[in-house]
Amino acid sequence: MVRFKDIYNGEHKKFAYFVTGTTALFVALWLVGPGTTVIHWVRAKIEISRQEKIIREYRQENAILQKRYDMLCNQRDTLEKFAREQFHFAAPGDDVYLFEAE
Q: Count of domains in the chain? A: 2
Same domain, residue pair 22 and 51: no
Which positions ≥6 away from 37 have C-beta within 8 Å?
Answer: 30, 31
Same domain, residue pair 13 and 42: no
pLDDT tens-digit series, residues 46-91: 999 999 999 999 999 999 999 988 888 888 888 888 877 788 777 7
- For the chain, the farthest-separated pair of C-alpha atoms sits apart, in whole angstroms, at 107
pLDDT at 8 over 70: yes
Question: Of 8-17, 26-35, 43-52, 56-65, which gets the smallest average pLDDT?
Answer: 26-35
Same domain, residue pair 41 and 74: yes
Same domain, residue pair 27 and 41: no
**Domain limits for position 8:** 1-33
The pTM for the full model equals 0.53
The half-sphere exposure of 83 on its side-chain side, counting CA atoms within 13 A, is: 11
